[in-house]
Structure 1
Amino acid sequence: MDLQLTGRRALITGSTSGLGEATARLLAAEGAEVVIHGRSAQRAQAIADSIIENGGKVFVAVGDLGTDAGADAVAERALDGGALDILVNNAGAYEHLDWAEATSDIWLHTYNVNVVSGVRMIQRLVPAMRERDYGRVVTIGGGLGTQPFDSHPHYNASLAARHNLAVSLARDLAGTRVTSNVVAPGAILVPAVQDFLTALAPERGWGGSWEEIEHNSVREIVPNDRTRYGRPDEIAGAVAYLCGPHAEYISGATIRVDGGTVRSAF
């Protein structure tokens, strides 16, 4: 299926690893020119070089979106190559802390990094999309935003805020050809997750092989219909769909990519 992204320009924040990297690679493979963003110029350039080797078109924008100055620098660099059609707000941070460990300072830091960073990019880039009457904003949320665990409350709450702001933006964009939607991943297998689960396996009795660890840990921690963890490419596929013209009639929606973890009556 041709997603009709050739000639579009996309900024994917936090795209030097994980879901952001997978999304950037897929959008580039679909013909979009992608802007790789991160706080490390070396890591961002390495991803860019890899995409270029595969025939993709790439820019690199480096900066800390947790500050206004950093957001200014990233937006300015991203626009150096031309107008942006797509903004994927993926950048964020995560710490596994319980209620006692998550101090008020950590709550404030998490909200700034996970929520306000996306707001900064929306305020800098979406007005031009509105003027041109075309654009796609995709926010990466998560199932914990609607069904939180008892731990890492600061992170759960920040995901809920990301969902909320994306819908508010969609309402503000009513009557334009700029859309705002959310992709909500479930538990996704990235290297850090696999390392964490493998280290925890002996204590939990999950087995020795990765196949055993995945099956048993999913059953215990995040039971879902697919009986496994998701893969970054599966999140990227949902994002890519929302970025194209086939998703023109989707507004303020949350696309769950969680294997059926989150249950809903609707």
Structure 2
Amino acid sequence: MDLKFESRHRALVTGSSAGIGAQIARVLASEGASVVVHGRSEARAREVAEQIRAGGGSAAFVVGDLTDAEQAGRVAREAVAAFGGIDILVNNAGGANPENGNIPFFEVPVEHWAPMYDKNVVATVRLIHLLVPAMRERGWGRVIQIASSAATTPPAMVAEYNSAKLALVGLTLSLSKALAKTGVTVNTVSPGIVRTPTFDEWMLGVGAGLGFGDDIRRTERYVLDNFWTQTVDRVGEVEDIANLVAYVASPLSGYINGTNLRVDGGISPAIN
């Protein structure tokens, strides 16, 4: 399918120096968008941008910690300068803290909640304020939050992460209404478990607790059979997420607005 991207469609994908974000950047570029790769590691962000350019795509990179207001402002300015503006903002940066493991609700220190919201929600709001008004003025734009199936089907563990991702879903709907009839759409894409380096770190932690050692595939099988009871019998791949994001970011998706699109292997026990 031709997604109707052109080089004038300029995207910033936050947290795109690895994992899901990197694949989103690659797919957008392969469809014809000009993409700004972002990360906190210059080496990794540069590498993804160079891979895109080597494949014939158009890419630049920016570096900064989005939980810091000054650095977030610089990221936004440099992203705009790279291609003369940003039309597509994919808020992918954030996530859980794998080193914390699966901490039961009452064992999560209260002090962990605010940094989790800052990392996932406040950083997203910063970039929305910095980049979306210009989309509204131009009369076209796409804003996509990457949340999680844990937002709407939360387990008892990592409650601070689940709650932060749910806040993104609410943020999306509010922003879509604030931008009504402007040509700027706002949507959420919520992945389930997806094979990334962060996922593998989590699997190692879970496997250690189960006595499986570093046998990630055995742990993965156990999680699918006993914990993450999906209707699709596999772990997601980064391509599963990136392909949907590319469609939602494209000119073809103009009638989709304010939605939460789940790409989670059928984990939800309810309609949505």
Give the shorter-chain TM-score range: over 0.9
Match of 2:88 in 1: 86
Tell me if 1:158 matches 2:164: yes
Pick from 151, 154, 171: which aligns with 1:145?
Answer: 151
Pick from 109, 118, 125: which aligns with 1:112?
Answer: 118
Structure 1 residue 215 displacement after superposition: 3.4
Query: Secondary structure at the residue paired with 1:61?
Result: strand
Structure 1 residue 105 displacement after superposition: 2.2
Mapping of residues 84-233 of structure 1, within 5 Å? 84-95=86-97, 96=101, 97-197=103-203, 200-201=206-207, 204=210, 213-233=219-239
Tell me if 1:236 matches 2:242: yes
Structure 1 residue 6 displacement after superposition: 2.0
Deviation per CA, 1:76-95: give whole Å up to 9, x if none: 00010211110000000312
How many Å separate the matches in 1 of 2:216 and 2:107? 31
Structure 1 residue 205 displacement after superposition: 7.6
How many Å separate the matches in 2 of 1:187 and 1:40? 24
How many Å separate the matches in 2 of 1:34 and 1:127? 19
How many Å separate the matches in 1 of 2:117 and 2:219? 33
Say if 1:61 and 1:74, in contact at 8 Å, map to a contact too: yes
Mapping of residues 37-48 of structure 1, within 5 Å? 37-48=38-49
Match of 2:16 in 1: 15
Tell me if 1:246 matches 2:244: no
After superposition, the Cα gap between the structure-2 partners of 1:214 and 1:103, relative to the gap in structure 1 and judged at 3 Å, is closer
Structure 1 residue 256 displacement after superposition: 0.5
After superposition, the Cα gap between the structure-2 partners of 1:200 and 1:125, relative to the gap in structure 1 and judged at 3 Å, is closer
Deviation per CA, 1:125-173: give whole Å up to 9, x if none: 0000000000000000111111211111110110011111011000111
Say if 2:29 and 2:58, in contact at 8 Å, map to a contact too: yes
Structure 1 residue 195 displacement after superposition: 4.8
After superposition, the Cα gap between the structure-2 partners of 1:200 and 1:4, relative to the gap in structure 1 and judged at 3 Å, is same
- Which region of structure 1 is more displaced relative to structure 2, 201-210 or 228-237? 201-210
Structure 1 residue 227 displacement after superposition: 1.0
How many Å separate the matches in 2 of 1:260 and 1:198? 24
Say if 1:206 and 1:217, in contact at 8 Å, map to a contact too: no
Query: Secondary structure at the residue paired with 1:88?
Result: strand
Tell me if 1:77 matches 2:83: no
After superposition, the Cα gap between the structure-2 partners of 1:204 and 1:103, relative to the gap in structure 1 and judged at 3 Å, is closer
How many Å separate the matches in 2 of 1:106 and 1:209? 29
TM-score, L = length of structure 2: 0.91
Say if 2:207 and 2:215, in contact at 8 Å, map to a contact too: no
Aligned length: 266
Tell me if 1:36 matches 2:42: no
Query: Secondary structure at the residue paired with 1:222?
Result: coil
Query: Secondary structure at the residue paired with 2:190?
Result: strand
Letter in 2 for 1:256: R
Structure 1 residue 115 displacement after superposition: 0.2
Structure 1 residue 212 displacement after superposition: 5.2
Match of 2:6 in 1: 6
Letter in 2 for 1:34: V
- Which region of structure 1 is more displaced relative to structure 2, 211-220 or 80-89? 211-220
RMSD: 2.0
How many Å separate the matches in 2 of 1:200 and 1:210? 9
Structure 1 residue 211 displacement after superposition: 5.8
Structure 1 residue 206 displacement after superposition: 7.2
TM-score, L = length of structure 1: 0.93
Say if 2:192 and 2:267, in contact at 8 Å, map to a contact too: yes
Query: Secondary structure at the residue paired with 2:188?
Result: strand
Say if 1:215 and 1:227, in contact at 8 Å, map to a contact too: no
